[in-house]
């Protein structure tokens, strides 16, 4: 639990103490093999897709693992073979063309990293930014930050953006939050995105694929989207020993994708949350860690 006086670094250090600074891929495999739901014949090793990481530096302070080599090494050590990477620069930089160019360039030399461009539909020329992300950089999706960019989910530019993404076949990630509002800078306050209009908006665009990042297991956030079959959620901020099974029960296993929100949060924390309930069998773990992300990225319908 984060307290108002804590910082992202403090939270990470606290979690490291809890995990004894020792969790790595073998330990994660051990967690799977110890689950009473897994059989001896089932593999305890997973090739993980992390659908929620960010590159470069958090605007308000330095974080552990905020250099690309450090972050990639840590993710690889935990069995992550692919990570969908947005950019922290996309929150506050107005030149999103340059933001996305830097992101794409940073991912060129690392096949593990899949760049996900930042789009701010409140800025002039965002349509060209979207086209550049999809056509020039060949990005499979884009990431939005409505609370930092000053719009709500009923605004016309957002709806137009969804329509364009639906027509082009790319997916859309919406970051519901990036940081607990109790620890935010007093000069930059960004409340969690209000998801209540999303159902009405998406009812007119059933083909668009949306993933909500950093969504909490709370009625205010989960209620408006739990019945939207074209909306998936990540695991980054779903807190509690049995929270992942609760999320699976609420929205369906096929709609839960692994995401760590690294490096703002340490990736080990997200993996512990997936396993700690010991209620998920090997097939479910495989779906959450990898299979669902592949299906979502490919645009396959969710059954």
Kindly report, residue by residue over 75-133, the tens digit of the pLDDT.
999 999 999 999 999 999 999 999 999 999 999 989 999 999 999 999 999 999 999 99
Beta-carbon count within 10 A of 22 CB:
8
* pLDDT at residue 166 greater than cutoff 90: yes
Predicted confidence band of residue 1 (pLDDT cuts 50, 70, 90): very low
What per-residue confidence (pLDDT) applies to 302?
62
Please tell me the CATH code under which domain 47-180+192-298 is placed: 3.20.20.140
Please report the pLDDT score of residue 216 as a whole number: 87
pLDDT for 301: 62
Assess contact for 252 and 296: CB atoms under 8 A. no
The CA distance from 230 to 296, in Å, is 9
Mean pLDDT in the chain? Answer: 86
Angle at 27 (CA atoms; ends 25, 30), nearest 5 degrees? 115
**How many angstroms separate the CA atoms of 70 and 245, rounded?**
31
User: Confidence band (pLDDT; 50, 70, 90) for 41?
Assistant: very low
Residue 194 predicted with pLDDT over 90 = yes
The rounded distance, in Å, linking the Cα atoms of 231 and 229 is: 6
Place 222 in a pLDDT band, splitting at 50, 70 and 90.
confident
Instruction: Give residue-wise pLDDT tens across range 238-290.
Output: 988 899 999 999 999 999 999 999 999 999 999 998 988 889 999 999 999 99
Give 188's contacts (C-beta < 8 A, 6+ positions apart).
59, 60, 92, 148
**Token digits for 187?**
């000069």
Beta bridge partners of 213: 175
| Whole-angstrom distance, CA of residue 213 vs CA of residue 193 | 11
Give the C-alpha separation, 173 to 144, whole Å. 6
- The pLDDT > 90 percentage for the chain reads 74
| Per-residue confidence (pLDDT) for residue 11, from 0 to 100 | 42
Q: Give 4-37 pLDDT, tens digit per residue.
A: 334 454 444 344 443 433 344 444 444 444 444 4
Dist. CA 161–CA 156, nearest whole Å: 8
pLDDT category of residue 303 using cuts at 50, 70 and 90: low
**What pLDDT does 193 receive?**
96
Does residue 139 carry a pLDDT above 60?
yes
pLDDT value at 181 more than 90? no
pLDDT number for residue 17? 40
The confidence score (pLDDT) of residue 45 equals 65
Euclidean distance between CA atoms 186 and 175, whole angstroms: 20
Where exactly are the structural domains of the chain? 47-180+192-298
So what's the pLDDT on residue 283?
93
């Amino acid at each position: 639990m984060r307290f108002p006086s804590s910082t992202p670094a403090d939270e990470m250090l606290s979690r490291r103490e809890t995990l004894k600074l020792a969790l790595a891929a073998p330990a994660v495999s051990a967690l799977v093999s110890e689950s009473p739901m897994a059989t001896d014949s089932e593999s305890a090793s997973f090739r993980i897709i992390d659908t929620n990481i960010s590159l470069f530096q958090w605007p308000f302070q330095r974080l552990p693992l905020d250099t690309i080599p450090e972050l990639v090494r840590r993710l690889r050590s935990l069995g992550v073979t692919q990570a969908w990477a947005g950019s922290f620069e996309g929150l506050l930089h107005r030149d999103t063309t340059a933001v996305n160019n830097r992101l794409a360039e940073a991912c060129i030399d690392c096949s593990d990293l899949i760049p996900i461009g930042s789009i701010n539909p409140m800025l002039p020329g965002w349509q060209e930014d979207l086209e550049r992300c999809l056509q020039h950089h060949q990005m499979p999706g884009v990431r939005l930050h409505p609370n930092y960019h000053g719009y709500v989910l009923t605004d016309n530019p957002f709806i137009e953006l969804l329509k364009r993404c639906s027509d082009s076949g790319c997916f859309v990630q919406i970051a519901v939050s990036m940081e607990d509002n109790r620890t935010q800078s007093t000069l930059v306050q960004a409340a969690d995105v209000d998801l209540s209009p999303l159902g009405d908006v998406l009812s007119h665009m059933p083909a668009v694929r949306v993933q909500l990042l950093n969504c909490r297991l709370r009625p205010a956030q989960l209620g408006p989207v739990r019945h939207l079959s074209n909306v998936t959620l990540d695991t980054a901020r779903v807190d509690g020993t049995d929270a992942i099974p609760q999320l699976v029960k609420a929205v369906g296993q096929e709609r839960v994708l692994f995401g760590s929100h690294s490096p703002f949060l340490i990736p080990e924390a997200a993996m512990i949350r997936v396993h700690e309930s010991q209620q998920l069998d090997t097939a479910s773990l495989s779906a959450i860690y990898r299979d669902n992300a592949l299906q979502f990225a490919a645009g396959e319908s969710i059954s």
